[in-house]
Amino acid sequence: MKDFNIRLIFALIYGPVMLLFAWLGGIYLQILISIVALLGIKEYYELLKNQKKLRLHFSFLLIATLITHIFIYFFGINPVIFLLLFFLISLFIIEIFHNKIDQATPRISYSFFGLFYISLTLEFLYLITELPRGNYLLMFLMILVWITDTAAYVIGSKFGKVRNIFKASRNKSICGFVAGIASAFIFCFLGNTLVMSLFHIQLLSSWQDCIALAIIVGIFDQIGDLIESTLKRFLGVKDSSHLIPGHGGILDRFDSLMITAPLLYFYLTILR
């Protein structure tokens, strides 16, 4: 009960703060995302150092994260492929001068993965706010993710009989997985209608948009959690860190948004 109370208290702090920054958008949201990304990179670095005895180039990762965020803030997402290519080449150059060939390939691979998985994906939270009604869309996405996670956890814990369907998360049940998908569909359509009725803000303009967002959140929200669980199982840890009492670390808290935000942005800008 104590752990639940701690988890609830920090959730009540975390939720309004994230919604506030999503509503503010602009440089305020960008600064917050950059701080979150830097903390996530630090967690990632510490996990590999402690669990796999692999020391990445920490300073490079921090600088590359900041450059990525500054670059996207001023120039957008389109040229970022060239920036990532530059970072990849830079990692090879660093290893050449580092003169420690035995772990060069793992260091390059894990460093590039960290930049992509943490630094780049988090930046889509900011990019969504640059779209029409983007601030409200990001807030809506966050709320849907929290509802889906809660429904999957509560219903899965209470009624889930068939478990161990994913080796990455042995407590994940079929019942909980389906409950997460169902809650995403229900609250996506319901929430979109309520926002339009109460605030006269049209978040999603068609039923196709509602279905797309419900699929993104209902399915890929949970896949995002499983991706991070896979990483933690590989590293042999329960939480990415103990930074947030009751919630684990930055990667534990943002794993779902790191997958759903890029997918929502790609749907709204390319597939729609």
Rounded Cα distance, 55 and 46, in Å: 8
pLDDT digits (tens, 9 = 90+) for 87-133: 999 999 999 998 778 889 999 999 999 999 999 999 999 999 999 99
Q: Is 239 helix (H, G, I), strand (E, B) or coil?
A: coil
Q: What is the mean pLDDT of residues 23-30?
A: 97
Phi-psi group of 164: left, alpha or beta (phi > 0 → left; psi -120 to 50 → alpha; rest → beta) = left
* Residue recorded with tokens 């590999």: 48
In tens, the pLDDT along 177-195 reads 999 999 999 999 999 999 9
Picking from 108, 119, 118, 117, the residue whose alpha carbon sits closest to that of residue 54 is 108
Distances (CA, A) of 8 to 22, 43, 47: 21, 23, 26
pLDDT recorded at residue 93: 94
Residue 161 has a CB neighbour count (10 Å cut-off) of 8
Query: How does pLDDT run across 222-236, given as a tens digit for each residue?
Result: 999 999 999 999 999
Give the pair of three-digit tokens for residue 235: 């590293």
Instruction: Kindly list the distances between the CA atom of residue 60 and the CA atoms of 2, 124, 157, 263, in Å, as whole numbers in the listed order.
Output: 40, 22, 42, 27
pLDDT in tens, 218-269: 999 999 999 999 999 999 998 888 887 767 899 999 999 999 999 999 999 9
**Tell me, what's the pLDDT at 1?**
52
Q: What is the mean pLDDT of the chain?
A: 92
Does the pLDDT of residue 141 top 90, yes or no? yes
Give the pLDDT band (50/70/90) at residue 271. Answer: confident
Region 148-160: mean pLDDT is 87
The span from the CA of 192 to the CA of 209, in Å, is 10
